Structure 1
Amino acid sequence: MKALGIWVASRLGLLLVTLMGVSWLVGTGDYLARWKQWDASLFVTIATYGYAGDPAAAHDPGLPAFFPGMPAILRLVHLVVSDWALCGLLISLVAGGVAAMALARLAEFEGGSGTAAVLAMILFPTAVFLAAGYSEALFLALAIPAWLAARRRQWAAAALLAAGASAVRITGLFLAIALIVEFALSRPRWRDLPWLAVPFVPLIAYSWYLHGRTGDWLAWKHAQEAGWGREMVWPWEAWRTTWNSAMGTDDFAVAFRMEIAGAVVAVVTLGWLLVRRRWSEFVYCGLQAGALLLSAYYLSVPRSLLLWFPLWVLLARLSTRWIIAYGLLFGPLMVLNTLRFLTGAWAG
């Protein structure tokens, strides 16, 4: 329950700071509407109109890149809450609380401090996406309990929870593969093996649905290419493109510098996991890193690090003395990045 208290207190603090900050930066206005930026708006579009998009707007080829879990929950909550932005905030509030409690239990199971793990996650510079109507909090609310169940060798629970995560983000595919690695390393009871097929069912079902609409089994992947140009390239090409973009003078240059910093953190984390021989966690994080760092340019790398719960667990196993310095360094950056998001800037 301590983790839940930290989560709720952090949300109240963020609410107060952002209310004052938005009022100072852009004046009074519709505060709730400012949370419906970027992907949060796209989730609302899917929840409202489906994957065909708003018939009154230009066709958006990128919509199938978003898995149906978050739009489905949004639509359900909207039955009782009229404001779409508030729906997204409420989903992330509840899901984030679940994720925080599960993370604390996972960190303690691994011999670390649950409090430190939760603080590391919620103070990370891109933690705004755990508050906004994005899918990160919802994914973690399913993925972290799934991993905790796997570590406890409760494979049926792990598989069912991971299936929920797979319905929310493509990251669920990487989680499903990592569960197979964890199973293989765990002196398994082979009668539990069929459960590990369950997390792949949402991906297959969504691909089947998109094939029925478009004739393309990989429409979700091609939507990323069409919407954001996320084609696979050699790693040095991705680095060069991102570096050149980061050397610009516009607001997006700041975002690309954040992407480079995120890539450095990702590589260091992977090295740390390798040194500690955390093979299944390395697979989970490594597959994500490959998808992000082999893209045409770095996009959403810092935001994706929020999903790297093995990183928070690793940090939680260190002496808790680091958390003060961590908070003093990253806490202000998190608040600044949140205000960037609320004023319409790209924040990761």
Structure 2
Amino acid sequence: MTLLDRDIPGIRTIAPSVRRSRLRLDAGDRDVLTLYLFTRVAVLLTAYCTAWLFPRDPEAHRPEPFTAVVGQWDWNHYLHIARDGYFPDDPAARPEEWDNREAFFPGFPLLLRALHLVVRDWAAAGLLVSLVAGAVAVLALGRIARLQLPRAADSRRAVLLLLVSPCAVFLAVGYTESLFLAFALPAWLAARRHDWRLAALLAAGATTVRVSGLFLVAALVVHFALTARRRGELRSLPWLALPALPPLLYSWYLYGHTGDPMAWKHAQERGWYREFHTPWEAWGTTWEAAFGHGYTTPYALMWQAELVAMAVGLVTVALLARARRWPEAVYVALSLWALGTSYWYMSVPRATLLWWPLWVGLAAWTSRGPRRSAAWLCLSVPLSVVLAVTFFSGRWAG
């Protein structure tokens, strides 16, 4: 029996007491939350120091407002959607040059707009969404790791590796990574318990936030095919069509306003060069951007990070396939295909945050000896700080 097929005691009946126990926080959960809060303080401290040390104006005597420091890049797209909508009627709300905001799915902006009714500062509302969603995500990651790793310390290690990973800053700011994981990881846990209705509902939440939610659905379908047939659960299969509903509704909305149901994809092509290219063309273009000296050094370094992240993803898929963990392999492989068939690589390092099999696998690998753990942390933590400073100082961070 593989880890994929391992049952959790009590799954078959799912008694009310078992359901309630899932909501309780045990000692391991509390340790994970403590670690999470400590790292949130570290990120805020980094943002504070960056505001003082690296102001946009070298002659500044006061730092920028904190909301400006944490509200960078894609946050502005989410803010404009939440505040003004995708297609604002007010001419004052329309940018002079269209910002291709249709590329961003509506889940995060809708939640942001709802929370703004209580938290009147937009940036604070975005930070609060990520803070709460991130707590849910790390709890779920810890529980997923417990299913696969022999010791409780190893499961906490998976959470630590995620929270100090190079792109961990995006889990703390007003971006979609935390919210996506807050849906995706509990959905995967529910699927492991063969609670397909709950898995489908949570996956539907993930597909409102990012198109990569569809990759999660593919993994759920593969997991269903591998495990459900011999459990008499085929009647639950239609539930797995539910997560397709949010993207369909969004496409219908876009069709009503633009006449193009795929306007989100075409916006990505216009704004971020995500038109289809073969994988080797995308690799070659990114390599040239990284090492061809055609871009300034900060941008070239980011392209180098894209190449490294793609290589890490390919190794992850190979190891998952070798271990016959087909659902997780499908999930990461589809993500790599989507990101690796554009004009060049973009946001691949950020996508590593969503590859939970990577962090569980790294936890297993680093647990085999203190030298491995120390080596990885000495590599990852400095990169995490550098990318956080890069983001908070207004430079591109992927």
Superposition TM-score, scaled by structure 2 size: 0.85
SS at match of 2:93: coil
Gap change, CA 1:41 and 1:267, over 3 Å in 2: same
| Structure 1: runs of 5 or more not aligned | none
Alpha-carbon distance in 1 for matches of 2:373, 2:200: 33
Output one character per residue of 1:20-49: Cα deviation in whole Å (capped at 9) or x when no partner. Answer: 232122252212211111111110000011
Aligned counterpart, 2:11: none
Partner residue in 1 for 2:318: 271
Q: Give the aligned partner of residue 301 of structure 1.
A: 348
Deviation at 1:319, TM superposition (A): 4.7
Q: Relative contact order (C-alpha < 8 Å, sep 6+): which is higher? A: 1
Q: Which residue of 1 aligns with 2:130?
A: 92
Could you list the runs of 4 or more consecutive aligned residues of structure 1 that deviate by over 4 angstroms after TM superposition? none
Decide whether the 8 Å contact of 1:116 with 1:323 is kept in 2: no
Match in the other structure for 1:139: 180
- What amino acid is aligned across from residue 119 of structure 1 in structure 2? L
CA distance in structure 2 between the aligned counterparts of 1:49 and 1:32, rounded to whole angstroms: 19
Shift of 1:178: 1.1
User: For residue 335 of structure 1, what is the aligned residue in structure 2?
Assistant: 385
1:20 aligned to which of 46, 49, 60 = 49
User: Alignment partner of 1:185: what SS?
Assistant: helix
Q: Note if contact 1:19-1:31 (Cα within 8 Å) is conserved in structure 2.
A: yes
Corresponding residue pairs, total? 348
Deviations 1:146-178 (A, max 9, x none): 001111111111110000001000011111111
C-alpha contact 1:46 1:71 (8 A) present in aligned 2: yes
TM-score normalised by L of structure 1: 0.97
CA RMSD of aligned residues (A): 1.4
- Aligned pairs for 1:60-75 (under 5 A) are 60-75=98-113
How is 1:227-306 mapped onto 2 (pairs within 5 angstroms)?
Answer: 227-247=271-291, 248=293, 249-250=295-296, 251-306=298-353
Amino acid corresponding to residue 6 of structure 1 in structure 2: L
Aligned to 1:34: 69
- Aligned amino acid, residue 312 of structure 1: W
Aligned-partner Cα distance in 1 for 2:189–2:113: 29
Q: Secondary structure of 1:317's match?
A: helix
Helix, strand or coil at the partner of 2:361: helix
Q: Is the 8 A contact 2:136 2:182 kept in 1?
A: yes
- 1:345 equivalent to 2:392? Answer no
- Give 1:55 shift: 2.9
CA distance in 1, matches of 2:244, 2:176: 19
Match for residue 261 of structure 2 among 217, 221, 224? 217
Unmatched tracts of structure 2, length 5 or more: 1-29, 56-61
Q: How does 1:24-173 map to 2 (within 5 A)?
A: 24-26=53-55, 28-52=63-87, 55-112=93-150, 113-173=154-214
Residue from 229, 247, 251 that aligns with 1:207: 251
